[in-house]
Amino acid sequence: MLKHSAAAPMATSVRQPRLNLDEIQGDVLWGLQKNAEAFVFFKIQNISLFKQWLRQFLQHITNTRQVQYRDLILRRYRQMGRKTRQSLYGLNLGFTWHGLNALVGIRRPGLDPSFEEGADSPGTIARLNDPPKSRWLPKFTSDRIDGVFLITGPDPPSVTFHFNKLLNFFGTSVKLVYSEMGTTRPGAERGHEHFGFLDGISQPGIRGLTSQSNAIREPDEGLPGQDLLWPGEFVFGYPAQDPQDPTKEGPPPETAAPWMRNGSYMVFRRLEQKVPEFRRFVVEQAARLGMDSELLAARMIGRWKSGAAVELAPLRDDPRLAGDKKRNNDFGFGDDPFQRRCPYAAHIRKVYTRDDLDEAEAQRHRILRAGIPFGPEVAPGETTTKRGRGLMFVCYQTSIERQFEYIQRQANDPAFVGGKRRPGSGAVTPGFDPIIGQAEGAGVRTMDEPYPNYPAGSRRTTLTIPKHFVELTAAAYFFMPSITALRTVLT
């Protein structure tokens, strides 16, 4: 999944930050080009040997300038109807708090409190209603994880080739704890996640990086509906959002150490998706409610499988809208106060409130997503999940607590977004995000108004969801250092 369209010259009155693209790892702001991605979780066995090998290996780490350039080349070739023979192999690297302790020493300055606590601490698990560690993949939890290599490429065999080379190179300095390959889905499903929905449509734009489709009339937008954010929301060392004004420059996020500059936090979550169970549930519930099952699924997500937003296409899919990048993200929720078009609890309405809340506030809880599906396609006759599949969820930010964790907690909170009312009557409890919302103890979840009262109507319905269709099976928080930090403090 690519986060950006190739850069075009920018013309805007707002001062643009100058990003040091040679320093920032490629997956963070732009996204490594990937049809396949190996996640290689490792423990450092011999610190000095690891540092020595890493110093020699640094030339292979892919930075943002390289991915931006590759994207440009890919585009040119596509325009000419040709395939490029450029190598699209990519490599990025991050460390957990254990890894930073090993490399910098235990007296190092403390980073983000959530990062220092780790994704697997009882506190984090309780805060996010995550399943207990005893239910995670046994191999993932079998040893301490110090770091992760992200290896990307055009297909699984070439990624496996680079994976083997990397393991040989680092030899006994590391122990492989767990590895897994993510792949984009085949054929027409490319770009769609396993439930069938097109992913990677809405990403925050970044000032100083994202090209603008109308810089004169909409200086604060990339594509229509894509707000440009100050890069400090995602990378250290740059101005971040002003908490009072969605467009103004705010102070850079605090850094505990100078070497955090041009670095970012990465959240990793291996989310298994129960696809046959999800499909069956949607069909059964749609029959109960007397509605089309594709419409029910679309109202649970807030977009049709094609990617068309229900806010713009409330009753039936509109593939032309879905294919139009200038229209398919150009909407808000402010003019849909009674969830007639899009339920309050729909996944995309929960995780990014747009103009439903204060807009400056909404922009303080954004993430850059860079995940990839894993696992096989559903086999014919597979009516209950036989082989694990789902999403290797990855996102980048400068505050795990204010960005990823905030979003997950709102997805889990049936009362969010608060203050909603029915037309002419009482208060509404929107319910859980039916996709990623997690109830305590994986209990029953409800979602308000799966049936659309569009354009009018007052039929009250509730969706009761007895089981979770997305289950966390592994998670970790990483710091993705700059190239200079890797070359100096960390080695």
Just list the catalytic residues: 199
Q: Which residue, among 161, 162, 112, 119, has the nearest Cα to 140 in the 3D structure? A: 119
131: helix, strand or coil:
coil
Total interface residues for ligand N7H by CB under 6 A: 26
Q: How far is the CB of 451 from ligand N7H (least distance, A)?
A: 19
- For residues 446-485, which are near ligand N7H according to CB under 6 A? 470
> Among residues 115 and 195, whose Cβ is nearest to ligand N7H?
195
Euclidean distance between CA atoms 328 and 40, whole angstroms:
35
Residue 197 in the binding site for ligand N7H (CB under 6 A): yes
Q: How far is the CB of 182 from ligand N7H (least distance, A)?
A: 12
- For residues 424-443, which are near ligand N7H according to CB under 6 A? 435-436
Position among 348, 372, 465, 475 found at the interface with ligand N7H (CB under 6 A):
348
> Among residues 338 and 393, whose Cβ is nearest to ligand N7H?
393
Say which DSSP state 243 is in. T
How many C-alpha atoms does 473 have within 13 Å on its Cβ side?
Answer: 20
Q: How far is the CB of 83 from ligand N7H (least distance, A)?
A: 26
E-strand stretches of 64-173: 90-95, 147-153
Euclidean distance between CA atoms 349 and 47, whole angstroms:
45
**CA 311, 313, 319, 323 torsion: positive or negative?**
negative
Position among 20, 273, 306, 482 found at the interface with ligand N7H (CB under 6 A):
273
| Number of Cβ within a 10 Å radius of residue 399 | 20
340 neighbors 453 (Cβ within 8 angstroms): yes
Residue 317 in the binding site for ligand N7H (CB under 6 A): no
287-296: list long-range contacts, CB under 8 Å, 24+ apart: 289/450, 289/451, 289/461, 290/451, 291/450, 291/451, 291/452, 295/452, 296/450, 296/463
Residue 363 in the binding site for ligand N7H (CB under 6 A): no
Q: How far is the CB of 36 from ligand N7H (least distance, A)?
A: 18
Euclidean distance between CA atoms 193 and 45, whole angstroms:
36
Instruction: Give me 46's structure tokens.
Output: 């011999």
> Among residues 161 and 406, whose Cβ is nearest to ligand N7H?
406
> Among residues 70 and 349, whose Cβ is nearest to ligand N7H?
349
Contacting range for ligand N7H; rule: CB under 6 A; set: 14-22, 63-71, 158-166, 268-276: 268-276
Euclidean distance between CA atoms 477 and 479, whole angstroms:
7
Distances (CA, A) of 283 to 76, 103, 248, 409: 43, 52, 46, 28
Say which DSSP state 404 is in. I
Amino acid letter at 306? Answer: S
Residue 313 in the binding site for ligand N7H (CB under 6 A): no
Contacting range for ligand N7H; rule: CB under 6 A; set: 90-98, 148-156, 267-275, 290-298: 267-275
Contacting range for ligand N7H; rule: CB under 6 A; set: 4-12, 251-259, 330-338, 389-397: 389-397
- For residues 166-195, which are near ligand N7H according to CB under 6 A? 193, 195
Instruction: Show the site string, 201-240: x = touches ligand N7H by CB under 6 A, - = not.
Output: xx--------------------------------------
Binding interface with ligand N7H (CB under 6 A): 193, 195, 197, 199-202, 269, 271, 273, 301, 303, 347-348, 351-352, 367, 390-391, 393, 404, 407-408, 435-436, 470
